[in-house]
Amino acid sequence: MKKIAILTFQNADNYGALLQAYALKNILMQNGNIVDILNYYTMCQCTLCNA
């Protein structure tokens, strides 16, 4: 059993990035891995979130 972290930009304006991250996580988990998703944020997004 491996620990895997997926670094992804899934907070886009469409659902494709979210579905891709979900599908990849599920496939890796089905193979017996421990999976975490790390959300990538740009500096602009971090500034807007903290405003």
Residues 24-36 have pLDDT tens digits of: 999 999 999 999 9
Contact predicate 46/11, CB 8 Å: no
Strand-pair category, 34-39 with 3-8? parallel
Contact predicate 8/39, CB 8 Å: yes
So where are the chain's domains?
3-49
pTM (two decimals)? 0.74
- The overall average pLDDT reported for the chain is 85
Query: Could you report the per-residue pLDDT of 34-44, keeping only the tens digit for each?
Result: 999 998 877 77
- Type of residue found at 20: Q
Alpha helices in 1-51 (DSSP H): 16-30, 43-49
